[in-house]
Amino acid sequence: MSDSKPLNTPISFESSLSRHDGNTLFESFLYRNIVGALQYLMHTRPELAFVVNGVCQYMQSPTTTNWPVEKRILYYLCHTHHHGLLICPSSYLDLSTFYNSKSVGCPDDRRSTTD
């Protein structure tokens, strides 16, 4: 993975996850292990919260379209290992956030993904 090209975002804007696309993964155990590790990593990497939540929704039966999204997160992490929150007792923390408000973000239930 260290030879992969650097990525600026953990997910591409064109990718959409759906339970109806792709075939069921044979090695779903590996998918679940990686998602569990990503959930733990979100404590210090809050920029991963949205995309990790997306891949967590398909842990019960991951498909072949979910696997590339998970691999892209790992490629992103490989080249941004120096990012993260470092919270010290005497530090001043200035935290800014953003969100993408898609009106029909989830193709399965047609609800907004920002609610």
SS3 19: coil
Total number of residues shown for the chain: 115
**Residue from 83, 75, 70, 85 nearest 34 by CA:** 70
Return the exposure string of 53-88: e unless at least 16 CB atoms fall within 10 Å of the residue's CB, then b: ebbeebeeebbebbbebbebbebbbeebeeeeeeee
Over its C-alpha atoms, the chain yields an Rg (Å, rounded) of 15
pLDDT tens over the chain, length 115 residues: 667 777 777 777 666 677 777 788 777 888 889 999 999 888 888 888 888 988 888 888 888 888 888 888 888 888 887 887 776 766 666 667 766 555 555 666 666 555 4
Q: Which two tokens stand for residue 114?
A: 């920002």
Confidence (pLDDT) at 71: 86
pTM assigned to the model: 0.66
Confidence (pLDDT) at 115: 47
